[in-house]
Amino acid sequence: MTLEDLLAFASRHPYLSLAFAGLTLAIVYTEVARLFRGYKALRPAALTALINRDNALVIDLSSSSEFEKGHIPGSRNVAPSQFDPENAQLVAAKALPVVAVCRTGQASADAAKRLQKAGFEHVYWLDGGIAAWQQADLPLVKGRS
């Protein structure tokens, strides 16, 4: 396929060409924004390594009942409605790696953004949440711990 072929296609299908250009720009924007957002996504294996290597604080934003059904060993449960980056227990961990976790990864991404804005130095979130953790066949602890 030559440049002339591409230009001919674009002139015959302007809406399709605009849609393709728009999607390309959206993907590029999303990837660039991800590089500069100040917190990082982790996959389950990377989270395991961070917990073992750097004693990361894992904050689980699941409801109490969901937390009791299964959570990452050593994680602390904080209800989303009570999550406050300025909480005295969290502020004491500002220099530690802090990982936000929830069931699907959506609420934890928002929490990671709030932690980063509050001045936490090493902020992460579990991409895919507890569902990704289970899919990786990693253990969950039941009950309150």
Tokens found for residue 8:
């001919």
In a domain, 144, yes or no: no
* 63 & 93 share domain: yes
* 89 & 113 share domain: yes
User: pTM for the complete prediction?
Assistant: 0.74
| Domain total in the chain | 2
Of 18-22, 79-83, 108-112, the poorest mean pLDDT is in 79-83
Alpha carbons 7 and 93: distance in angstroms, whole number: 56
DSSP code at position 71: B
List the CATH number of the domain containing 64.
3.40.250.10
Average confidence (pLDDT) over 64-75 = 93
Indicate whether 19 pLDDT > 80: yes
Strand residue runs (E) in 45-105: 57-60, 76-77, 97-101
- Contact at 8 Å (CB) between 74 and 139? no
* 96 & 130 share domain: yes
* 52 & 105 share domain: yes
- Contact at 8 Å (CB) between 59 and 111? yes
> Tens digits of per-residue pLDDT, 102-138?
998 888 888 998 998 888 889 999 999 999 999 999 9
* 13 & 74 share domain: no
- Contact at 8 Å (CB) between 116 and 36? no
* 30 & 95 share domain: no
* 65 & 123 share domain: yes
**CB atoms < 10 A from the CB of 68, how many?**
15
Alpha carbons 8 and 1: distance in angstroms, whole number: 11
Beta strands 97-101 and 57-60 are parallel
> Tens digits of per-residue pLDDT, 28-43?
987 777 666 678 889 9
The neighbouring-strand residues paired with 19 are: none
Domain range enclosing 26: 3-35
